[in-house]
Structure 1
């Protein structure tokens, strides 16, 4: 049944350009509407970041109307329209046939009816049309009802929708956790039954969906739903086995390792005002991944070496998910160093400066704070480092080197492993404030690495 509801949009330049695209399509005799997330978000009081457009025009007809287009998915009826500084995905109404590969329709049949097009989409809350000219939502799939009831459910049979694209199972979790909506029972049961099929989805698409879930609102709830639905054991088995792994209650009154991880993600999202990088989020997700294999009980529950093992495990996990090498190095460092904060009170000044001078140190700080807040709640180390961080000048933390290999060669030292030892010695003395200029550095080198012993 068709349901129409008036809805004022968020005024913006993006909306103005969207209207122009819709108007041009209609002037050429075609139907055209905005579709999907823009209608959903506007109903929820959230300003849309993009407007996708659906039309009765074929890609060829769209390219004839607009001078600047890019054929990004013509075989599926999708073309990119470029106008001003904006790009719009314009898709032709279609009705799909079977999906043999679990992602792409075997055959695309164009349609002239918008209601046929929306009924092939994933969830009711994503299947509404928005008319930016009349400023109204057009709903053939009960999306308005489900938004008001705060429910995520598929359009039609959930088994059919999930078999068309297995990633939709993870998307259901994402929308449910992001908006704090309930997952419809039939939709949830279908995910439970089909969970193993998520392995048919490419690593890149799974990576992107995981990242979205743990960087959006309610990330801990999203991770828990991945576990409860049965998906997590197939996409991140090393995270799933955190469930039930006990921790020493004197340090972790919150519960097991999985509960702690969910809480860390939530604290991180709150502390960062909702802006969490993929690397920081994945670092938080995997920061205790080394605990299950290092679990032991002596005087108390211990996880000796879990930071180093977890960092090594993260490399393998992230490579399988096709993260870039640069991202993997950042994630690895976050996990490897996340316990170093406990030693800051006893660090020499030079060691502390090196620690604070690490790349991406703000993210190390963010992870440590969330880790503390999600466990014992003690933030003395964080407060100490923050105070020192604010006290140190930038040039104190990362001062320009006083000498280089060139000076060492001029002094008669031969290039080799000794160079690294000498330069590290000079840097430490500089950070400690013991030397402040090149002449003092040269004198310190000659005193500690005498020429009669080190220069042939």
Structure 2
């Protein structure tokens, strides 16, 4: 029983005198030796009443997931018990299993055996050889109709492929290619949930398969325009090929940042990324969409150009996020990375000739506080470019620039934030100003001058402010 969350064991023991089966994910994950936080409990009928009874007795919360089909979730200490009736009023557990998505999710065992027997001793109910497919690391759909019944299962297949590092069976992919347009009938919130899970795992190869099977363009039609868009000789692929490869490269950079940025310091700036599924999802989405503005800004002057493609791309992603109903804050985070993905390359030109100013570094950090994520996107972008005119050693130079910016932030900006020389109260008390937008502008100017070493003391800051205020309000100081 050591594979069962301890918080749930006593709850489950109360239920073993009834005909209840543990199904799907927990069976799969037990065989794969993966931890799980939710347990699917399937019974012939009465799921609602039982879920409500369990929630009341164990101080949990009961939430309906699909009242029509009789699916209810009980939340206990951040663990989930999902109670469901046999699907479509099936008369047996075998029939219920036949209506699920993939063979590896169509296995069951009685709750009593789940609690009291080791997995090797289970009398496993496995009518579709799901355990065999687990050993082959294969995702095999139970049938074409199962996708029609719930088209989200097509996307879930790719998500599981990314999460488990499994392969999708050829016939399963064929059905998806035939039925991909059915995904358009699925609620956008359900699609968004699967996408967020997918992109939190290594996603590059799976997204490429989704493109081959047309499902990717059903979700993100904006990507169609990127196909066959020629790029300058810095690149070796068209825009769409470059976007797919950049996503694949972002997987590698996220997995092993030390390989691309060199030896990491004790205070590793990438730790917060590796520990955050949300940040990893944002980086991967930004990598996939960083050049989505190029098809809309393509022009041939004396050469191929994509002026302001970063701005246009950010605007496009904001619309994508709104359409798919991603959380607004998350959508803005991804759009910010897209909007500024060229900034590291622009700064690199100045850095290489020793002209990189403290002001430019500070403005980058202020514009993109999560600059480690931005540099991961830039690194993936560079790695995905291999045209004949690409500068040699570009990734090493990007890494050097990153550390220059990071050390400046650690050694200068963070200390400045802790000990400000002047505050808004000084603007009121010493200069008689009324609070307003001008306060931020004036205080930012002081901090910028301080980061450049132009002022170091409070007295110098106040003198600087006096001059600045006179310039801005000259008519008041005649």
2:192 counterpart (207, 218, 230) = 207
Distance 1:390 1:428, change over 3 A: closer
1:407 aligned residue (415, 423, 426): 426
CA distance in 2, matches of 1:146, 1:128: 11
**What's the CA shift string for 1:162-193, capped at 9, x where partnerless?**
12111112112222344443433332222222
Select 2:407's aligned residue among 387, 390, 394: 390
Counterpart residue number, 1:171: 156
Classify 1:337/1:397 alpha carbon distance in 2 versus 1 (closer, same or farther; 3 Å).
farther
Kept in 1: contact 2:39–2:80 (CA 8 A): no
CA distance in 1, matches of 2:30, 2:444: 57
1:220 maps to which residue? 204
User: What TM-score do you get using the length of structure 2 for normalisation?
Assistant: 0.79
SS in 2 for 1:262: helix
In 1, Cα distance between the equivalents of 2:63 and 2:317? 38
Which residue of structure 1 aligns with residue 344 of structure 2? 341
Q: 1:120 to 1:176 in 2, by over 3 A?
A: same
Equivalent positions of 1:55-454 (< 5 A) are 55-56=43-44, 58-59=46-47, 60-61=49-50, 63-64=52-53, 67-68=57-58, 70-73=62-65, 74-81=67-74, 86-92=79-85, 94-96=86-88, 109=89, 111=91, 113-130=92-109, 131-132=113-114, 133-134=116-117, 135=119, 136=122, 137-155=124-142, 157-158=143-144, 160-217=145-202, 219-249=203-233, 251-253=234-236, 255-273=237-255, 276-277=277-278, 278-344=281-347, 345=351, 346-357=355-366, 358-376=368-386, 378-379=394-395, 380-391=397-408, 392-393=410-411, 394-396=413-415, 398=417, 400-409=419-428, 410-412=430-432, 421-450=441-470, 453-454=474-475
Question: Which whole-Å CA distance do the structure 2 matches of 1:196 and 1:228 have between them?
Answer: 14
Report the alpha carbon displacement of residue 114 of structure 1 after superposing the two structures with TM: 1.6
Kindly indicate whether the alpha-carbon contact (under 8 Å) linking 1:232 and 1:240 is maintained by their aligned counterparts in 2.
no
> Are the equivalent residues in 2 in contact too, given 1:341–1:382 (CA < 8 A)?
no
Deviation at 1:234, TM superposition (A): 2.2
Q: Is the 8 A contact 1:125 1:146 kept in 2?
A: yes
| Counterpart Cα distance in 2 of 1:82 and 1:276 | 22
- Partners of 1:185 and 1:404 in 2: CA distance: 65
SS in 1 for 2:244: helix
Contact persistence 1:287–1:310 (CA under 8 A): yes
Describe the SS at the equivalent of 1:304: coil
Q: Residue by residue, what CA displacement relative to the aligned partner does 1:322-381 show, whole Å, maximum 9, x if unpaired?
A: 123222221221111110112322432122123234322222122222222222572213
Is the helix fraction higher in 1 or 2? 2
RMSD of aligned C-alpha atoms? 2.9
CA distance in 1, matches of 2:235, 2:27: 43
Relative distance call for 1:216 and 1:84 in structure 2 (3 A) is closer
**TM-superposition CA deviations, 1:393-433 (whole Å, max 9, x none):** 25346465433444334325566776555434322211112
Deviates more, 1:351-360 or 1:306-315: 351-360
C-alpha contact (below 8 Å) 1:22/1:32 kept by paired residues:
no
1:328–1:64 distance in 2 versus 1, CA, 3 Å: closer
Question: Structure 1 residue 225: deviation in Å?
Answer: 1.9
Q: Structure 2, unaligned stretches of length 5 or more?
A: 256-273, 387-392
Equivalent position SS for 1:138: coil
Asked whether the equivalents of residues 69 and 87 of structure 2 are also in contact (C-alpha less than 8 Å), the reply is no
